[in-house]
Amino acid sequence: MTNLTPILTKFWDDPQSWTLETYRRNDGWKAFDKALKMEPAALVQMTKDSGLRGRGGAGFPTGMKWGFLPPPDGGPRYLVVNADESEPGTCKDIPLMMAAPQFLIEGVAITSYAIGCNHAFIYLRGEVVHVYRRLLRAVEEAYAAGLLGKNIMGSGFDLEVTVHAGAGAYICGEETALLDSLEGRRGQPRLKPPFPAVAGLYARPTVVNNVESIASVPPILLHGADWFADMGTEKSQGFGIFSLSGHVKNPGQYEAPLGITLRELLDMAGGMRDPQKKLKFWTPGGSSTPLFTDEHLDVPLDFESVGAAGSMLGTRALQIFDETTCVVRAVDRWTEFYKHESCGKCTPCREGTWWLKQITGRLENGQGSEEDLEKLLDICDNILGRAFCALGDGATSPITSSIQYFREEYIAHLTNGGCPFDRDASSLFAKDNVPA
């Protein structure tokens, strides 16, 4: 049995968890103190040694990313924190910034020092105005305490932090679209190379990292790279926040070593919301990751094992659906999301997601034919690997995986002349499905 490892979530229950005072009571800002006495290169090495991999989805080694910046040339270098969190099901960065924003601010200060950045940006999803206010206040508190600004604690290190609220577009979470948006342009992905490390924000060397990646840096520095590397699995080290949502008794954030299984997490979360109802399907890492079923309850939730089982760890957004859920309907809803959020830059995704939605919609309504399933798979095949960015690939995941596991349910819609499920009972939001 794997235990939880509450580190970033340790004091979320504290009545004033978001204040600098609470953070300091929990060893907050001690790591930054330590960092200022170290050489920046040693901090990059420590992050490499810890094995920390990006928590934004792709799992790229964080220290290695910092190491890609070219040597300083006297011009500005930037850290941009990706706080756009918009993937359906993903809900870890927003609660983290709401409950304990100082983790992120201290992580920003340490990372900026490590990479030689004097102006860092936090690009936040625009809809979460309450988080925007909380972050602004947290940054203000850090300035007032002399932890940000000019010549911090007499070290000679200067750091300005800007919190920027986006306008609510999923594509602005893609790191280069985010940079375009931050520069004031329409958010659309950039052609790579050049990669942001070479020419990022304002064409200057830039590190883009996820909120949880950066927030993990202070505990790593405080406790040591080995402490972090000893948790998790051989190639997926450390801990992460697993977000359980849907048909589960106690949904929420569970911080645990990578490699924990859904069976273990479900045990901790009190099991399925209705114990009489079987687990039907789930996403290991948000809606862009291929679906799993109850056959996958014991797959270790680390990058390698989830990949070997045919999906992706993504953002550890575990959306749980019981047998009352119509998979065709769920896939249709996700497909509508991708169609809506496609930025339109490339043809396979712009046109493909529109056609996918037409077909999933008519299948859910019992119209169309069995050939539509082959058409769906064919369109997915024309998007996967041919789209300009990973949004297009992500749009195909729920479709191909649901046809793989639940083809007969699609067919049942056709033979039934409509959805065979009781729509109200199958909805997560139906009145009699919401726990008292």
Ligand X SMILES: Cc1cc2nc3c(=O)[nH]c(=O)nc-3n(C[C@H](O)[C@H](O)[C@H](O)COP(=O)(O)O)c2cc1C
Output 86 or 319, the one with its CB closest to ligand X.
Answer: 86
Six token digits for residue 35: 């960092």
For residue 257, which phi and psi values (nearest 5 degrees)?
-65, 145
Of the candidates 38, 145, 297, 390, which one interacts with ligand X according to CB under 6 A?
Answer: 390
Q: Report if residue 17 touches ligand SF4, rule: CB under 6 A.
A: no
Output 152 or 349, the one with its CB closest to ligand SF4.
Answer: 349
Q: Report if residue 57 touches ligand X, rule: CB under 6 A.
A: yes
DSSP letter, residue 347: H
Output 92 or 280, the one with its CB closest to ligand X.
Answer: 92
Q: Which does 190 bind (CB under 5 to 8 A by kind): ligand X, ligand SF4, none?
A: none
Q: Which does 255 bind (CB under 5 to 8 A by kind): ligand SF4, ligand X, none?
A: none
Q: Which does 233 bind (CB under 5 to 8 A by kind): ligand X, ligand SF4, none?
A: none
SS3 122: strand
Output 106 or 180, the one with its CB closest to ligand SF4.
Answer: 180
- Quote helix, strand, coil % in the chain, to nearest 5: 45, 15, 40
Of the candidates 54, 63, 238, 286, which one interacts with ligand X according to CB under 6 A?
Answer: 54
Find the shortest distance in angstroms from Cβ 194 to ligand SF4: 17
Asked whether the beta carbons of 321 and 282 are under 8 A apart, the reply is yes
Please, is 96 exposed, middle or buried when counting C-beta atoms within 10 Å of its C-beta (0-12, 13-18, 19+)? buried
- Residues β-bridged to residue 122: 81, 163
317-356: contacts with ligand SF4 (CB under 6 A)? 342-346, 349-350
Find the shortest distance in angstroms from Cβ 192 to ligand SF4: 12
Q: Report if residue 389 touches ligand SF4, rule: CB under 6 A.
A: yes
Find the shortest distance in angstroms from Cβ 255 to ligand X: 17
Find the shortest distance in angstroms from Cβ 180 to ligand X: 12
CA neighbours closer than 13 Å in the CB half-sphere of residue 124: 25
59-98: contacts with ligand X (CB under 6 A)? 60, 82, 84-86
The pattern of x and - marking residues 263 through 302 that bind ligand SF4 according to CB under 6 A reads: ----------------------------------------
Q: Which does 266 bind (CB under 5 to 8 A by kind): ligand SF4, ligand X, none?
A: none
The DSSP secondary structure of 228-242, one letter per residue, reads HHTSB-SSSBSEEEE
Q: How far apart are CA 363 and CA 77, in angstroms?
A: 50
Output 54 or 189, the one with its CB closest to ligand SF4.
Answer: 189
Find the shortest distance in angstroms from Cβ 394 to ligand SF4: 9
Output 89 or 173, the one with its CB closest to ligand X.
Answer: 173
Q: 71 preceded by cis ω (within 30°)?
A: no
Output 270 or 344, the one with its CB closest to ligand SF4.
Answer: 344
Q: Which does 82 bind (CB under 5 to 8 A by kind): ligand X, ligand SF4, none?
A: ligand X
Integer-rounded Cα Rg, in Å, for the chain is 22
Helix axes 101-115, 129-144, angle to 10 degrees: 60
150-209: contacts with ligand X (CB under 6 A)? 170-171, 173-175, 208-209
170-189: contacts with ligand SF4 (CB under 6 A)? 171, 189
101-140: contacts with ligand SF4 (CB under 6 A)? none
Q: 194 preceded by cis ω (within 30°)?
A: yes
Six token digits for residue 91: 């809900």
Asked whether the beta carbons of 161 and 147 are under 8 A apart, the reply is no
Q: How far apart are CA 64 and CA 52, in angstroms?
A: 10
Output 200 or 238, the one with its CB closest to ligand SF4.
Answer: 200
DSSP letter, residue 159: B
Place of tokens 């924003």: 101
SS3 314: coil
- For Cα atoms 394, 398, 401, give the angle at the middle one, nearest 5 degrees: 115
Q: Which of 222, 238, 209 is nearest to 38 (CA)?
A: 222
Of the candidates 258, 392, 406, 409, which one interacts with ligand SF4 according to CB under 6 A?
Answer: 392
User: How far, in Å, are 47, 58, 63, 242, 380 from residue 316 at the CA level?
Assistant: 21, 11, 21, 5, 24
Of the candidates 121, 388, 406, 421, which one interacts with ligand SF4 according to CB under 6 A?
Answer: 388
Find the shortest distance in angstroms from Cβ 123 to ligand X: 9
Find the shortest distance in angstroms from Cβ 91 to ligand X: 11
Q: Which residues bind ligand X (CB under 6 A)?
A: 54-58, 60, 82, 84-86, 170-171, 173-175, 208-210, 213, 389-391
